[in-house]
């Protein structure tokens, strides 16, 4: 096991609390999250995310990039499952049939 050392930093209390909540929801504590950040920085030899003066522009660019990537993954999955030829009406019919089948198999709850 590698030898460890302490790192002392000062951070706004509210920011620390918010970060602990977010990282807790991801299943890690603040120390683990900071270690992940530092490992990625060392591995990539850079800050592992973009820092910009115009976060709205970056957010739009990232969102568009993510949307394009998601669309590509959906298309690949539809080709893999043989559903790439379906029209919007076909898709809506599939959704309606799935919902109806789910309703038909749902156990009734006595009041």
Closest CA to 52 of 41, 60, 64: 60
Closest CA to 86 of 97, 96, 75: 75
7 is written with which tokens?
A: 């790192």
Q: How many domains does the chain have?
A: 2
Q: Is residue 94 part of a domain?
A: yes
Domain match, 62 and 35 both: no
The pLDDT value given to residue 73: 87
Q: Each residue's pLDDT tens digit in the chain (111 positions)?
A: 789 999 999 999 999 999 999 999 999 999 999 999 999 999 999 999 877 766 677 678 888 888 888 888 888 888 888 888 888 898 889 889 989 988 888 665 554
Q: How far apart are the first and last CA of the chain?
A: 59
Q: What is the DSSP letter of 53?
A: S
Domain around 71: 55-105
Q: Is residue 5 part of a domain?
A: no
The pLDDT value given to residue 111: 47
| pTM of the complete model | 0.47
Cα within 13 Å of Cα(76), Cβ side: 6
Q: Is residue 7 part of a domain?
A: no
What gap in Å lies between CA 30 and CA 36, rounded to an integer?
Answer: 10
The pLDDT value given to residue 1: 77
Q: Is residue 50 part of a domain?
A: no
Please state at what angle helix 13-25 crosses helix 30-44, rounded to 10 degrees: 80
Q: Is residue 1 part of a domain?
A: no
Domain match, 62 and 100 both: yes
What gap in Å lies between CA 60 and CA 62, rounded to an integer?
Answer: 5
Domain match, 67 and 33 both: no
Q: Is residue 8 part of a domain?
A: no
What gap in Å lies between CA 19 and CA 16, rounded to an integer?
Answer: 5
Q: Is residue 20 part of a domain?
A: yes
């Amino acid at each position: 096991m590698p030898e460890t050392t302490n790192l002392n930093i000062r951070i706004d209390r509210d920011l620390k609390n918010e970060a602990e909540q977010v990282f807790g929801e991801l299943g890690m504590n603040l120390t683990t999250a900071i270690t992940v950040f530092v490992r990625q920085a060392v591995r990539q030899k850079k800050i592992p995310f973009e820092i910009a003066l115009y976060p709205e522009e970056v957010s739009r660019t990232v969102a568009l990039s993510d949307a394009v990537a998601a669309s590509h993954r959906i298309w690949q999955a539809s080709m893999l499952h043989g559903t790439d030829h379906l029209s919007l009406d076909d898709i809506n019919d599939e959704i309606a049939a799935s919902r109806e089948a789910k309703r038909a198999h749902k156990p009734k709850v006595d009041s």
